[in-house]
């Protein structure tokens, strides 16, 4: 089949599902000049774009993502006639497909795949016997209505990756603790899946670290929760008569890892300086309120300073509506954003004038890179930063919980109730009451030595200061009572892990 035929088929299928915003010459001409190309995804890891840095140049270009996570580009031809002719979008697609299919690309590029996310459980509910697959399929239809879109999608990913391949055709009445033990072993053996990567083979990397084991336990607990809810849903609807399938599902105790990724004030200022004007306003709003990006994107002018000295945050995900109080500095910022707008207008919009949905992701990633911050930082880190700063300043955990919209203070205590190690160090050195006059004299005699020692111990990354790596994935205390067979699987992994 010729590449012209493939391009024509692409225009009738993928282009209709995912239209390119610069497919027409008039749309290309309307693109503002910029040094970096405008990109459109044709397939996963395959892109077509427009490079229009100035009046003298406007070319179609293609891009691939290589296996080592780097991009390669190729010029396809002129997109606007500025003296050298031009080619259409379909012709550019044809040339891009030919380049994607070349040997040099195939040997280095990541595998291409059709765009799109998981939208349903990959199981066809046929047959008279009610299976685990039937239960998961029915449960997913219920969560589509009852859960947030993000929560529903996360469930689908876990179900399709961990449960459907092994348990889908098992009669639900036959499910027992033995199947749960097998699931625990598979979770331990299965490498994690990031983004849209394909299923990985069984890991042969040797013993797991304590942190890797902790993450596998949390994955297992998430699967147990999904199975228990699905089986209870089936039992409530009289699809099964026995209670055993859901009563044998018990979680494993796991050590909670508190959030340690947050910014200090100097890093906040670097991030703000690296952001676009609209993103800067969104980042400031998150730092003043601790709100999620979705909550800020939905905020209306009428929600500001209406019921109190702060903002009203509408119900979001499973959280009810709440009121977030603001410091004077924050209130002045919000009032400035509301000037000249009507009550129903969004307080924050993107640089293109549209309500924030997901446009912030790429912009925030770019700002993080420009500011020289760790690549692990995502927008939600600003929520951690807000909470951690309040805790460090002595604000009560209960107040922080109400500001964040958590149901109880335990969540805040476990998640955010930690301090930068430098803050803990400073508090101990400053607040410890004198004990021995003799040792006080010794301290004064060694003052220079102590100062030099402290200076020598400082690290470039303040997060690495006095860091200790957890040596176990088990919590100090837990009310979880896992099945003995399952506990044995994880205990065996704990005994062979890397310290």
Question: For the segment 56-86, what is each residue's pLDDT rounded down to a tens digit?
Answer: 899 999 999 888 878 899 999 999 998 889 9
Tell me the three state secondary structure of residue 479.
coil
The larger pLDDT score, comparing residue 478 to residue 314, is at 314
Classify strands 46-54 and 57-65 as parallel, antiparallel or unpaired.
antiparallel
Share of the chain above pLDDT 70, in %: 86
The pLDDT of residue 23 is above 80:
yes
Check residue 48 and report its DSSP letter.
E
Instruction: Locate 278 and state its tokens.
Output: 């609209």
Rounded Cα distance between 270 and 385, Å, is: 14
Rounded Cα distance between 114 and 390, Å, is: 45
- For the segment 152-195, what is each residue's pLDDT rounded down to a tens digit? 888 998 998 889 988 989 999 999 989 999 998 988 888 776 65
Q: Is the distance from CB of 97 to CB of 6 less than 8 angstroms?
A: yes
- For the segment 49-58, what is each residue's pLDDT rounded down to a tens digit? 999 999 889 9
Share of the chain above pLDDT 90, in %: 40
Fold match between domain 119-257+470-499 and domain 265-419: no
Average pLDDT over residues 293-302: 93
Give the model's confidence band at 485: pLDDT under 50 very low, under 70 low, under 90 confident, else very high. Answer: confident
The pLDDT of residue 452 is above 60:
yes
Rounded Cα distance between 484 and 188, Å, is: 17
Q: Who's near 5: CB < 8 A, 6+ residues apart?
A: none
Give the model's confidence band at 15: pLDDT under 50 very low, under 70 low, under 90 confident, else very high. Answer: confident
Tell me the three state secondary structure of residue 323.
strand
Average pLDDT over residues 128-138: 92
**Under CATH, what is the fold of the domain 265-419?**
hpI Integrase; Chain A (1.10.443)
- For the segment 210-243, what is each residue's pLDDT rounded down to a tens digit? 778 888 889 999 999 999 999 999 999 999 999 9
Check residue 384 and report its DSSP letter.
H
Average pLDDT over residues 344-373: 90
State how far Cα 68 lies from the chain centre: 21
pTM equals 0.59
**Under CATH, what is the fold of the domain 119-257+470-499?**
DNA polymerase; domain 1 (1.10.150)
The pLDDT of residue 113 is above 70:
no
The pLDDT of residue 422 is above 90:
no
The pLDDT of residue 478 is above 60:
no
The ranges assigned to domains in the chain are: 3-106, 119-257+470-499, 265-419
φ, ψ for residue 307 (rounded to 5)? -110, -5
Rounded Cα distance between 338 and 285, Å, is: 13
φ, ψ for residue 204 (rounded to 5)? -120, 30
Q: Report the helix count and the strand count for the chain, using DSSP H and E.
A: 23, 6
- Hey, which residues does 72 pair with through a beta bridge? 64
Rounded Cα distance between 61 and 69, Å, is: 19
Of 485, 496, 490, 497, nearest in space to 181 by CA: 485
The pLDDT of residue 473 is above 60:
no
Helix, strand, coil % in the chain, rounded to nearest 5: 50, 10, 40
Least confident among 155-164, 309-318, 454-463: 454-463
- For the segment 188-217, what is each residue's pLDDT rounded down to a tens digit? 888 776 655 555 656 555 677 777 888 888
Check residue 255 and report its DSSP letter.
-
Q: Who's near 75: CB < 8 A, 6+ residues apart?
A: 51, 59, 60, 61
φ, ψ for residue 239 (rounded to 5)? -80, -25
Check residue 434 and report its DSSP letter.
P
Least confident among 103-112, 123-132, 407-416, 454-463: 407-416
pLDDT at 130: 93
pLDDT at 80: 93
Give the model's confidence band at 274: pLDDT under 50 very low, under 70 low, under 90 confident, else very high. Answer: very high
pLDDT at 480: 59
- Hey, which residues does 312 pair with through a beta bridge? 323
| Element holding 212 (H helix, E strand) | helix 210-236
């Amino acid at each position: 089949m010729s590449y012209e035929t493939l391009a024509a088929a692409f225009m009738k299928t993928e282009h209709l599902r995912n239209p390119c915003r610069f497919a027409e010459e008039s749309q290309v001409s309307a693109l503002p000049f910029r040094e970096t190309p405008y990109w459109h995804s044709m397939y996963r890891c395959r892109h077509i774009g427009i490079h229009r840095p100035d009046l003298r140049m406007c070319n179609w270009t293609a891009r691939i993502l290589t296996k080592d996570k780097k991009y390669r580009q190729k010029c396809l031809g002129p997109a606007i006639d500025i003296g050298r002719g031009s080619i259409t979008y379909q012709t550019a697609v044809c040339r891009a497909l030919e380049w994607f299919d070349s040997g040099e690309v195939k040997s280095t590029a990541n595998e291409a795949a059709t765009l799109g996310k998981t939208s349903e459980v990959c199981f066809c509910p046929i047959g008279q016997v009610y299976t685990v697959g039937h239960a998961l399929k029915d449960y997913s239809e219920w969560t589509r209505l009852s859960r947030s879109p993000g929560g529903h999608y996360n469930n689908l990913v876990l179900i399709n990756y961990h449960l459907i391949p092994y348990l889908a055709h098992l009669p639900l009445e036959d499910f027992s603790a033995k199947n749960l033990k097998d699931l625990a072993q598979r979770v331990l053996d299965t490498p994690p899946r990031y983004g849209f990567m394909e299923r990985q083979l069984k890991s042969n990397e040797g013993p797991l670290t304590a942190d890797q084991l902790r993450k596998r336990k949390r994955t297992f607990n998430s699967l147990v929760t999904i199975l228990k809810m699905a089986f209870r849903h089936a039992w409530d609807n009289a699809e099964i008569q026995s209670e055993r399938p859901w009563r044998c599902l018990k979680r494993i105790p796991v050590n909670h890892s508190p959030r340690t990724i947050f910014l200090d004030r100097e890093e906040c200022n670097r991030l703000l300086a690296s952001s676009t004007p609209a993103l800067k306003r969104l980042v400031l709003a998150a730092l003043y309120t601790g709100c999620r990006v979705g909550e800020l994107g939905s905020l209306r002018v009428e929600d500001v300073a209406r019921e109190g000295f702060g903002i009203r945050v509408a119900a979001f995900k499973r959280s009810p509506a709440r009121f977030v109080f603001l410091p004077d500095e924050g209130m002045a910022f919000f009032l400035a954003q509301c000037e000249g707008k009507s009550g129903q207008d969004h307080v924050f919009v993107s640089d293109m004038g549209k309500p924030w949905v997901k446009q912030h992701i790429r912009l925030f990633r770019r700002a993080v890179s420009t500011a020289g911050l760790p690549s692990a930082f995502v927008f939600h880190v600003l929520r951690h930063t807000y909470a951690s700063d309040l805790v460090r300043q002595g604000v009560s955990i209960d107040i922080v919980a109400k500001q964040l919209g958590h149901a109880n203070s335990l969540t805040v205590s476990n998640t955010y109730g930690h301090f930068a190690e430098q803050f803990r160090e400073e508090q101990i050195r400053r607040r410890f009451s004198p004990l021995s006059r003799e040792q006080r004299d010794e301290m004064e005699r060694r003052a220079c030595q102590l100062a030099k020692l402290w200076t020598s111990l400082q690290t470039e990354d303040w997060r690495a200061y006095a860091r200790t790596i957890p040596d176990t994935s088990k919590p100090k205390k837990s009310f979880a009572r896992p099945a003995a067979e399952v506990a044995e699987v994880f205990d065996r992994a704990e005994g062979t892990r890397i310290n």
